[in-house]
Structure formats: C-alpha cells, structure tokens
Amino acid sequence: MELLIASAIGVLTAAGIYMILRLRTFPVIIGTSLLSYAVNVFLFASGRLAVNAPPVLREGVERYTDPLPQALVLTAIVISFGMTAVVVIIALGAWLSCDDDMVDTPRINAEARPPEPMPRGDA
C-alpha cells in the first residue's frame, strides 16, 4: 500500500511539474493545483498510513492515527483554494487586458528592443 501512495504522489508531482512548464497560464494553474494535491498528500502521508484509526477519541479504542499532519493539511487545502483563486484572477486580468495568456515575457532581451515610436505631436 505504501508503494501505491508513494507512486501516486510521484505521478501527481510529475504531472504537476510538467504542466507548470507549459507556456500558457491555464495549464500552469492546473499544474500548481496538481502539485498542491501532491504536497498535501505528501504531508499527510508523513504522519504514516493507518487504516480504520481516525483521530476521533472513542471509549476503549487505543490506536489512533497521527492527527497533526491532518490538521496542517486541512488548512493547507483551504488555503490552496485561495491561492488558486488569486492566480486565476491574475491570469484572467492579463488575458482580458492584454489578450495574452503566455507566461513568458515575449521580449527576452530588453536592450535589443526597437525604440518606441514617438507619440504624435511630441517630435
């Protein structure tokens, strides 16, 4: 079972990294979401795996799984929603105001760019 979890995290991470390296905003956002899954599951799994041992106290039950990673991951899940939403609005702003959803700056070399045309009446 540990192998399944580890490989699932690996697959999510690899897919996330690949998507983050794409050139458009939307795949990059998807990539960060995938990475968020991977990171959350990673953190959760760092408390080690346990089946049928939820950290809810019961009479006579002695075995509980580690509650701390769960608490940390719970807030992380909610925060990652906030983060995704912020990134999405930034991407939307760029797209709506510049018709551009490329993540790379088009001009790599600022010095090589041709001089701006002089505004009319200023010459």
Partner 1 sequence: MPAGLVAARMLGDSPAMSLFLIVALPFLGAVLPGLMIQAGRRTCFLTTLLTTAAAAIGLASHAPAILRGETVMARLPWLPELGLDVNLFLDPLGFMFAGLILGIGLLIITYARYYLSRDDNMGEFYSYLLLFQGAMVGIVLSDNILMLLVFWELTSLSSFLLIGFWKHLPEGRQGARMALTVTGMGGLAMIGGMLILGQIAGSYDLSVILTKGEMIRQSPLYLPALILILLGCFTKSAQFPFHFWLPHAMAAPTPVSAYLHSATMVKAGLFLMARLWPVLAGTEAWTVIVSSAGLATMVIGALIAIFKNDLKALLAFSTVSQLGLITFLLGTGTPFGAMAAVFHILNHASFKAALFMTAGIVDHAVHSRDMTRLGGLRRLMPITFAIATLAGLSMAGIPLLNGFISKEMMLEEALHTTLFGTPLLVAVVAGIGALLSAAYSFRLIAHTFLGPERTDYPAHPHDPEPGLWLPPILLMIPVIVLGVAPFLAEPFVKLVTGAVIGPGAQLPKEHLALWHGLTPALGISAAAVLGGLLILSVQRPLARLWDAAPRPEAKAIFDALIGAIVAAARLLTSRLHDGAFTRYAAIMVAAVLAAGLHAWFTGSGWTPGREMLPVTPAALAAWAMLVVASASLVVIHRNRLAVLVLMGIIGLMVSVGFNYFSAPDLALTQISVEVVTIILLLLALNFLPNRSPAESGAARRLRDGLIALAGGGAAAALIYVILLSDFPAASISDYHLANSYKGGGGDNVVNVILVDFRGFDTFGEIIVLGIAALVIYALTETLLSGPVRARLLNRGYEEDRAGDAHPLMMVVLTRVMMPIILMVGVYIFMRGHNEPGGGFVAGLVVAIAVVMQYMASGFEWAAKRQRYPYHGIIGAGVLVAGLTGIGAWFVGAPFLTSAFGYVTLPPLEKFELATAMGFDLGVFLAVVGAVMLSLESFSRLGRRAGTEVNDHPMDIDPSRSARRTDPMGQLDAPAGPGHSADRAASNQAEES
Which of the residues 26 through 65 are near partner 1 (CB under 8 A)?
26-30, 33-34, 37-38, 40-42, 44-58, 64-65
| Closest CB to partner 1 among residues 116, 123 | 116
Q: Does 75 bind partner 1 (CB under 8 A)?
A: yes
Smallest gap, in angstroms, from Cβ of residue 121 to partner 1?
A: 22
Cα distances from 87 to residues 18, 26, 94, 122, in angstroms, run: 18, 10, 11, 39
Smallest gap, in angstroms, from Cβ of residue 51 to partner 1?
A: 6
| Residue among 4, 100, 112, 120 that touches partner 1 (CB under 8 A) | 4
Question: Residue 29: in which H helix or E strand, if any?
Answer: helix 25-45
| Residue among 107, 115, 121, 122 that touches partner 1 (CB under 8 A) | 107
Q: Does 113 bind partner 1 (CB under 8 A)?
A: no
| Closest CB to partner 1 among residues 108, 123 | 108
Are residues 26 and 91 in contact, defined by beta-carbon separation less than 8 angstroms? yes
Are residues 65 and 50 in contact, defined by beta-carbon separation less than 8 angstroms? yes
Cα distances from 86 to residues 18, 81, 83, in angstroms, run: 21, 9, 5
